[in-house]
Chains A and B, each alone.
Chain A
Amino acid sequence: MPDPQLFDAVCGLIRSVVKLDAEVPMTPDSTLVDDLGVDSLDLVSVFLEVQDAFGVVIDEEDLTGIVSVGDLVAYVAERRASQAA
């Protein structure tokens, strides 16, 4: 289960970048491309905003493993932990 605070923050950021309606449900299992309709342009914006907002560096090689909102939240949490260590 992802950190609820981090999950809410990432969801808020995705909603803001992709301009998702508030009624569109977002769970850790929601896939960015198929469920939320995020295209490659939006993905770039999401990843860049995540980098700036959470102070993490997203490695482009890792992007193919970030399929769902939960994947993104877990990735951010992991990067923050490894950067803090």
Chain B
Amino acid sequence: MGRRGLNTRKGILRATLPVLRRLPPRAALRAVGEFGRWEYRLVPSTRNRILEAIRQHAEALGEPWDPSAVGPELAANLIRSRARDLLLDGRTDAELEGVFRIEGREHLDGATAGGRGALLLANHFGAHLVGAYWIIRHGYPWRMFGERPRHISRLMAEQFALDGPLGQARLFVSRKANPAEAAGAILRAARVLRAGIVLSIASDVRWPTPPNATAEFLGRSYAFSSTWVTLAAHAGVPVVPMYCSIEPMGTYRVDFEPAFTLPTAAARDDRLAAHWVQHGLRLVENRVRRDPANSIDYFFWEEDEAGPRNRAMAG
């Protein structure tokens, strides 16, 4: 999505958040979605960019999506994803009643039974940070391994400020880290898992330097971070895939899929690591196929890197 469009959305959100926070959460979230539909209807350049992205990816994946039906929903979800978890701040449990629909919670609870750590396999599908918000709000001991997100709720900001050996503050990683720093962060994350904490890490992060593996996603080939594979294999903890979809009526659906474990060898065998990286991406791609309107990030990855091309051409 173009920088100008993003800035417009951010500006609208910033200006309207104080008002939206006075509304019941579902009404506020529906209103945010309406901004996106309004922009889609009134701004031809936005509409055309969205339609083109849907057409390109439908062709690359061989999916019979109707761009004119998916387009307005994708536009609504684009702006709702920009709101992150900001509209959930300061709400009581009663106010949030009905905002979340949870499927497969037994998979998370089974994986963490007896105080075990679990690796929550996250992604950038839908409203990924809102899923994390639900986890924190429901009292699971949770940390995130990845780059630090910005523009987040107070609840999440407090979580991110947790310090100490098992705190969140030292689990943020940077693309500029040297090998020793990167290794240190992974060791720290392994310790967090062994301490019985739920650690969220994304499976769909394009990463140009090791630890990474080349895999296919949405018809193209990229180098993706393989850190989640290393961690899951070394720590021997269950891996629980999680998705948070944006729904049209001001609600979110959080899905937990059945847990799986990785063989220890995946931590040291490049081919095995690549296999699991591809497995993680295939799970996300299945979601995209079923729900293209929640493919918010992927359809607008930088064009030089992310424009779909035929699998046969993918390196």
Contacts and interface: CB of A to CB of B under 8 A. Distances in A.
A17 B270 CA distance: 12
Contacts, number: 59
A44 interface: yes
Looking at chain B's contact residues, the main secondary structure is helix
A41 B211 CA distance: 5
A64 interface: yes
A7 B234 CA distance: 24
Nearest to B185: A60
A6 interface: no
A59 B189 CA distance: 12
A33 B179 contact: yes
A63 B184 contact: yes
Contacts of B230: 41, 44-45
B180 A39 contact: no
Q: Which of B181, B184, B209, B211 has the most CB of A within 10 A?
A: B184
Range for the number of chain B residues in contact with chain A:
20 to 34
B268 A40 contact: no
B180 A44 contact: no
A33 B188 CA distance: 20
Nearest to A51: B187
18 contacts: A33-B179, A39-B179, A40-B209, A40-B210, A43-B179, A43-B183, A44-B234, A44-B267, A45-B234, A48-B187, A48-B234, A58-B187, A60-B185, A60-B188, A63-B180, A63-B184, A64-B181, A66-B180
Interface of B: 170, 178-188, 190, 209-211, 226, 230, 234, 267-268, 273
* 9 pairs of A and B residues whose beta carbons are closest in the complex: A41-B211, A43-B183, A60-B184, A40-B182, A39-B210, A40-B179, A63-B184, A63-B180, A44-B186
Given A38-B179, A66-B180, 6 more contacts: A44-B183, A44-B190, A45-B230, A45-B267, A60-B188, A63-B184
